[in-house]
Chain A
Amino acid sequence: MDKCFKKIPVSNVRNRYLTGFLCPVILFGSSFTSSTLLAEQPPDIAQYTLQREKTSEFVSSTLQSGKRPEIEISEHSGDYQIKVVALIAAPASYVRDVLTDYTHIYRLNPSIIESEVLKQEDDGSVNVRTKVVGCAAYFCEELERVEKVRQLPSGDLQAEIIPALSQFKSGKTTWHIKPVGDYCEVTYVSDMEPDVYIPPVVGKFLIKKSIREEMQISFTNLEKISSVLAAREWQEKHVPANHQTVSKPHHMEQASNIE
């Protein structure tokens, strides 16, 4: 029964997001409304961008300015394959920091409604539990998963679902982050099979549509957070302390002291 889709309350309809297995881009399981995607950049980012334009070749923002990532989605017998390629307006190191900041992974997408770092292995891999809520039309489902995440020698990130602890039969995701000047190109490749009943009425078209929308949200947030962190560090290096509008990069702080 608990694997059946639930009708969401009317009060939640206007803020519904499509995610869960519907949102495999949520690698490890992260708050932003869709209006955030089109929101103006905060002043600190704008200032950062302005300063960077003066000092280097700095092309205009990508996802935050409305450009969509390239997204390919296919499905075979309940197995979903997703590939996303996006130019992110932030340096690769910051993007990697955001993706491996597991305690803050909920920031990547509102649909990550629960997240928790379970344990860190001796080999450097980390087990991360997330619960995501996914909706297609009026049907919603909450899906839990535990992923073993590790950074490959190449710098790529790889996450593998642990089926015994997840509502997925299988799942493997790779993030490839390639520096492109001050920006980076992020390639996301995922193959996963959710272990839930999907009512025929939902339809593959709706699921693919929701995956596409959630990908857009997650990648836009990834760019936004990465660029804010880059702006903070840049400001710290170049702006006198009494003129700074932002503080130390969060990855230099204790996780327990930050939101």
Chain B
Amino acid sequence: MMLQVLLWLMFLLLVSGCATEQAVSFQSDIDPILHDKCQRCHVPPDGIGYVRTGLSMESYDTLMKGTMFGTVIVPGDSKRSVINKLIEGRAGDVMRMPHGEAKQLSAEEIEYFKLWVDQGALNN
């Protein structure tokens, strides 16, 4: 009986370990996306997205600072983060980021952003 309980506990531990979500790194996962898909517009001094909103995606610090209207990331909460709303198209298609002819984020990249924010939007 005791052995059975132990085996079940080991099984549960194994399953919970497998279910642990992937840790997303800002440096290796998010920054390359920003560089590839966002910095075309969101860089000072002349990037159109920077000029219009004040949002620079040049670095972790500037990203966390947000726009002149407020922050764009709520660490730990992708649902309420502006950046997630916009790249996921939750603020309507007209507001979906990136705008215009820029390369769109793939479903995988959008998921990375979601996980990164939900994991606390760390500078890791």
Contact = CB atoms under 8 A, between A and B. Distances in A.
Are chains A and B native binding partners rather than an unrelated pairing? yes
Interface of A: 11-12, 14-17, 31-33, 36, 42, 44, 103-104, 106-107, 110-111, 113-117, 133, 221, 224-225, 228, 246-248, 250, 253, 255-259
Nearest to A250: B52
Interface of B: 48-49, 51-55, 66-77, 79-82, 85-86, 90-92, 94-95, 97, 99-100, 118-120
A259 B68 contact: no
A106 B99 contact: no
Contacts of A115: 90-92
A225 B70 CA distance: 8
B68 A255 contact: no
Contact of A42 (B54, B73, B80, B119): B54
A103 B48 CA distance: 19
A116 B80 contact: no
B77 A12 contact: yes
Given A258-B52, A259-B67, A133 B90 contact: no
Nearest to B93: A116
B116 to A, nearest CB: 12
Contact of B69 (A16, A33, A224, A247): A224
Contact of A103 (B55, B73, B82, B95): B95
29 contacts: A11-B120, A12-B76, A12-B77, A12-B118, A15-B74, A33-B71, A33-B74, A103-B94, A106-B91, A107-B82, A113-B80, A114-B91, A133-B80, A224-B70, A225-B69, A225-B70, A228-B68, A228-B69, A246-B68, A247-B52, A248-B52, A250-B52, A255-B94, A256-B94, A256-B95, A256-B99, A259-B52, A259-B67, A259-B82
Contacts, number: 106
Given A15-B75, A15-B77, A106-B85, A247 B70 contact: no
The A interface is mostly helix, strand or loop, or mixed, namely mixed
A174 to B, nearest CB: 25
B81 A31 contact: yes
A31 B70 contact: yes
A257 B81 CA distance: 19
A121 B81 CA distance: 31
Given A11-B119, A31-B85, A106-B85, A111 B92 contact: no
Contact of A15 (B49, B76, B97): B76
A106 B119 contact: no
Given A17-B80, A33-B74, A255-B94, A113 B85 contact: yes
